[in-house]
Chains A and B, each alone.
Chain A
Amino acid sequence: MVGLYNRIIAQPLALFWRLALGCLLWWILTEGSSSSWLIGIPTVLIAVLVSFHLTQYNPYRLRFIALPSFIIFFIATSLIAGFDIAKRTLHRDLPVGSQWVIFETRLDGLPRWLFMSCLSLMPGTLSVSSEAYGLVIHSLDDKATTLSGLKKLEDKLIALFKKRESDL
């Protein structure tokens, strides 16, 4: 309990953002009903406590400047992924490959997790497992196409996060 308290006190900025996010989510989910805050405030507080309890210290910071470009990239690419699937599905010969690709990534921690989540919605790739030697990915395309697509996503994620300088 003391450890949890110290962890929260050590990251006042994280506490602020999590509280703000919790309140925003509650506000959206209850569609702005003001009487619901009687339950909402304790719920948000407990949720933030649990989130501190469950997560490790995260040395990465989101760069808000890079966020719009990432969202646009993500939406555009996932749209392409959907139409790519449609094209393959409706094609008479069913041009679907099925193979494993190993992708060695420099990412770790939160960016790595986000990378694995995003690449499942990108054209032709599906994250399967994360191993010491890299990520195991299932691909519908040949290796070169897959790797260049993944490289682009990796670059976007590197731009999105910044490693914290002052690690005490």
Chain B
Amino acid sequence: MTLLMILQSILLISGALMFLVGSIGLVRFPDTYTRIHALTKADNVGLGLIVIGLIPASFSVLVTLKILLIWLLVMLASALSGHLVAWEARAQQVPLKPSEGESSKETFSKRELSTKESSDEPSD
């Protein structure tokens, strides 16, 4: 196994692990919004690592450009659909996860949003 192959293996497997992390985040995170975070960011990085790992496999300029283009498209798609789902969720008043120590009746009407300064995050 050459050095390049080892590097490639590391990239591919860590990319796949990143996808796994995204899925675990999707299951573990407490509300719809945080789940969107987990999904879009982890999957974007995962796909990026896999794409870079695939470049040396059978190197050709056009195939490389094509898979980079696919990555770019997926990146744009996940940013856009994450935004759309978050937008829709907020419009339908999907509640935020109440932070510990705060009252659970936290809603987020626009009026509250503009006046609320900073919510106090419990530090650990």
Contact = CB atoms under 8 A, between A and B. Distances in A.
Contact of A96 (B29, B45, B69, B110): B29
A27 B42 CA distance: 30
A14 interface: no
B35 to A, nearest CB: 10
A116 to B, nearest CB: 7
Contacts of A93: 124
Interface of A is mostly: mixed
A98 B34 contact: yes
B28 A99 contact: no
A89 B90 contact: no
B9 interface: no
Interface in A89-132: 89-90, 93-100, 102, 116-118, 120-121, 123-124, 126-129, 131
Contact of B45 (A28, A81, A100): A81
Interface of B is mostly: helix
Given A86-B21, A100-B96, A102-B114, A120 B40 contact: yes
A28 B44 contact: no
Given A89-B21, A142-B121, A120 B42 contact: no
Given A90-B21, A98-B30, 11 more contacts: A27-B62, A82-B18, A88-B25, A89-B38, A96-B30, A98-B99, A99-B119, A116-B83, A121-B40, A140-B34, A143-B119
Interface of B: 18, 21-22, 24-25, 28-31, 33-34, 36-38, 40-42, 44-46, 48, 62-63, 65-66, 69, 75-76, 78-80, 82-83, 86-87, 90, 96-97, 99, 108, 110, 113-114, 116, 118-119, 121, 124
Interface of A: 25, 27-29, 31-32, 75, 78-79, 81-86, 88-90, 93-100, 102, 116-118, 120-121, 123-124, 126-129, 131, 133, 136, 138, 140, 142-143
